[in-house]
C-alpha cells in the first residue's frame, strides 16, 4: 500500500515516530509517497529528519504552542490568540493538504496528531481513508487517568485531540503500558514507535546527566546549576536556531544541537535524564533503564509526566531540580514490563496495520465522536 504521512512538527516526538513507522512499513513491503510537516517560526526541523525519512517532504503552516516571555513555560491563552490571528494561513494549509492527498494518489493517510489534517478531512473529506497515530489518543481511552489539572484545559486538550482525528478510521494510541482495547472503539493501544537505532545500543552507566530542553531559556537554569555544582558532568540537547552544533560552556557542560544518533548515544550512557516531559524521549529513557526528571511546560506534558511517574519512570518538578534527579538515581528500579512490551512492537504494529482501503472507508469516525458524545465508531 502507498501511505502519505502528515506530521505535527512541534517538538521531536511525532517526527521520530513517523521515521520509525516509515521504516517498519517499508520493511514489510509498503511505500511512503510523501510527508507533509507542520512548521513553526519558533522551531527548526532537525536535519536528521530530512536525511532519514527518504520521501519528499513538504511544509505547511500549523498551530503551535508559544512559550512565555522567558521562553520556558507555554502560555496556552497567548497561544490561542496567536493562532487565531493566523487563521488565514491555516486555511491555506487545509487546501494544501487536500491537494497533496489528491496529487500523491496515496491509499491511506497517516496523521501524526496534526490539527490541519483533521480539519482538511472535516472540510473536504476525500475518498482516501485516514488513520491517526499519537500517544494523545490514549487520553480518549476510558481507562486513562489524568493529573489534577485545570478541568478547562483538560477539556480543551481532549477536544483538540478529537479534532485532529476527524473522519479517521482508527486511532493508534501509543502507550507505555498494555491496555485492553474496548470492543467497538476506534482506539487501538499499541507500543510506542521507537527507531531501530535504539535497539542497536547497549545501555551503560556513565557519570553524566543527559537532557533535552524544548524551550531554550531553560538553559539558564542548567548553566546556573553547573556553576554551583562544578563536579557534575552534563550533556543537554536543544533545537534552538542559529547556534553551533556544539556549544561548550565548560569542560563539564555542553549543549548540542538536536542530532538523532548523538542524542541516543548520550541517552544510552547517562546516569539520569532530564526533560520537559515529551513522550518520545521518556520512552527512550525507559527502554534504556534510565531514571527521568520531568519538567512539563504545558497541559499535555503534565499528563505525560503524571502517567510516567505513576509507572515508576521518574519524578516531576516545576523546574530542573537536578539534585532531586541525582538522589532519585540511587533508588530507581528499571521497568522491565516496558522493555518486553517494546520487544513485541513491530509484531503489534504490523498486525494492526493489516487493513484494506475499503474496510477503512466504512469505519470513519462520526462527528459525534469528535464532540465527545460517544466512544465508538
pLDDT at 65: 54
pLDDT at 374: 46
Under CATH, to which class is 2-193+344-370 assigned? alpha beta
pLDDT at 180: 81
Q: Is the predicted pLDDT of residue 333 greater than 50, yes or no?
A: yes
Question: Mean pLDDT over residues 226-245, rounded?
Answer: 90
Backbone angles phi, psi at 246, to 5 degrees: -140, 120
Spatial separation of the C-alpha atoms in residues 170 and 181, rounded to whole Å:
12
> What CATH number does domain 197-341 carry, 3.40.50.2000, 3.40.50.300, 3.40.30.10, 3.90.1310.10?
3.40.50.2000
The percent of residues in the chain predicted with pLDDT above 90, rounded, is: 59
pLDDT at 240: 79
* 364 within 8 A of 186, measured Cβ to Cβ: no
**pLDDT: is 297 or 22 the higher one?**
22
How far is the CA of 261 from the CAs of 234, 265, 291, in angstroms?
A: 17, 6, 20
Domain ranges in the chain with CATH number 3.40.50.2000:
2-193+344-370, 197-341
Question: Mean pLDDT over residues 289-307, rounded?
Answer: 92
Question: Mean pLDDT over residues 143-168, rounded?
Answer: 89
Q: What is the pLDDT of residues 28-54, one digit of tens each?
A: 999 999 999 998 766 678 888 999 999
Q: Is the predicted pLDDT of residue 372 greater than 80, yes or no?
A: no
pLDDT at 85: 47
* 72 within 8 A of 138, measured Cβ to Cβ: no
Spatial separation of the C-alpha atoms in residues 64 and 42, rounded to whole Å:
9
Q: Is the predicted pLDDT of residue 202 greater than 80, yes or no?
A: yes
pLDDT at 82: 46
- What's the predicted TM-score (pTM) here? 0.88
Q: Is the predicted pLDDT of residue 75 greater than 60, yes or no?
A: no
**Site of grid cell 502519505:** 4
Q: Is the predicted pLDDT of residue 73 greater than 60, yes or no?
A: no
pLDDT at 335: 85
Residue 151 banded pLDDT, cuts 50, 70, 90: confident
With vertex at residue 157, the alpha carbon angle to CA 155 and CA 162, rounded to the nearest 5 degrees, is 95
Using CB atoms within 10 A of its CB, is residue 351 exposed (0-12), middle (13-18) or buried (19+)? exposed
Question: Mean pLDDT over residues 279-293, rounded?
Answer: 95
Structure-block grid coordinates of residue 306: 503524571
Amino acid at each position: 500500500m502507498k501511505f502519505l504521512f502528515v506530521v505535527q512538527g512541534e517538538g521531536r516526538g511525532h517526527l521520530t515516530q513517523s521515521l520509525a513507522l516509515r521504516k517498519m512499513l517499508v520493511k514489510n513491503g509498503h511505500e511512503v509517497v510523501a510527508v507533509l510537516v507542520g512548521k513553526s517560526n519558533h522551531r527548526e526541523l532537525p536535519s536528521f529528519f530530512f536525511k532519514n525519512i527518504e520521501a519528499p517532504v513538504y511544509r505547511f503552516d500549523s498551530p503551535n504552542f508559544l512559550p512565555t516571555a522567558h521562553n520556558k513555560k507555554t502560555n496556552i491563552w497567548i497561544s490561542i490568540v496567536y493562532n487565531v490571528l493566523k487563521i488565514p494561513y491555516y486555511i491555506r494549509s487545509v487546501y494544501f493538504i487536500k491537494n497533496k492527498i489528491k496529487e500523491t494518489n496515496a491509499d491511506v493517510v497517516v496523521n501524526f496528531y496534526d490539527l490541519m489534517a483533521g480539519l482538511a478531512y472535516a472540510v473536504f473529506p476525500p475518498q482516501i481513508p485516514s488513520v491517526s497515530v499519537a500517544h494523545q489518543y490514549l487520553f480518549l481511552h476510558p481507562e486513562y487517568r489524568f493529573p489534577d489539572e485545570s478541568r478547562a484545559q483538560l477539556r480543551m486538550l481532549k477536544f483538540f485531540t478529537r479534532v485532529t482525528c476527524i473522519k479517521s478510521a482508527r486511532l493508534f494510541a501509543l502507550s507505555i503500558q498494555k491496555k485492553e482495547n474496548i470492543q467497538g472503539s476506534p482506539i487501538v493501544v499499541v507500543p510506542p514507535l521507537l527507531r531501530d537505532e535504539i535497539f542497536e545500543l547497549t545501555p551503560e552507566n556513565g557519570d553524566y546527566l543527559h537532557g533535552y530542553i524544548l524551550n531554550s531559556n531553560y538553559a539558564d537554569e542548567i548553566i546556573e546549576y553547573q556553576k554551583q555544582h562544578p563536579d557534575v558532568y552534563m550533556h543537554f540537547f536543544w533545537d534552538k536556531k542559529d547556534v553551533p552544533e556544539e556549544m561548550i560552556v565548560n569542560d563539564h557542560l555542553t549543549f548540542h544541537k538536536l542530532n538523532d544518533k548523538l542524542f541516543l548515544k548520550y541517552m544510552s550512557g547517562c546516569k539520569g535524564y532530564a526533560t520537559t516531559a515529551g513522550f518520545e524521549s521518556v520512552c527512550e529513557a525507559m527502554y534504556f533503564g534510565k531514571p527521568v526528571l520531568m519538567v512539563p511546560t504545558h497541559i499535555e506534558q503534565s499528563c505525560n509526566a503524571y502517567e510516567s511517574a505513576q509507572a515508576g519512570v521518574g519524578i516531576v518538578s516545576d523546574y530542573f531540580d537536578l539534585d532531586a534527579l541525582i538522589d532519585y538515581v540511587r533508588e530507581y528500579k528499571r521497568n522491565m514490563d516496558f522493555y518486553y512490551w517494546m520487544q513485541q512492537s513491530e509484531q503489534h504494529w504490523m498486525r494492526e496495520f493489516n487493513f484494506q482501503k475499503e474496510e477503512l472507508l466504512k469505519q470513519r469516525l462520526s462527528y459525534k465522536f469528535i464532540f465527545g458524545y460517544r466512544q465508538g465508531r
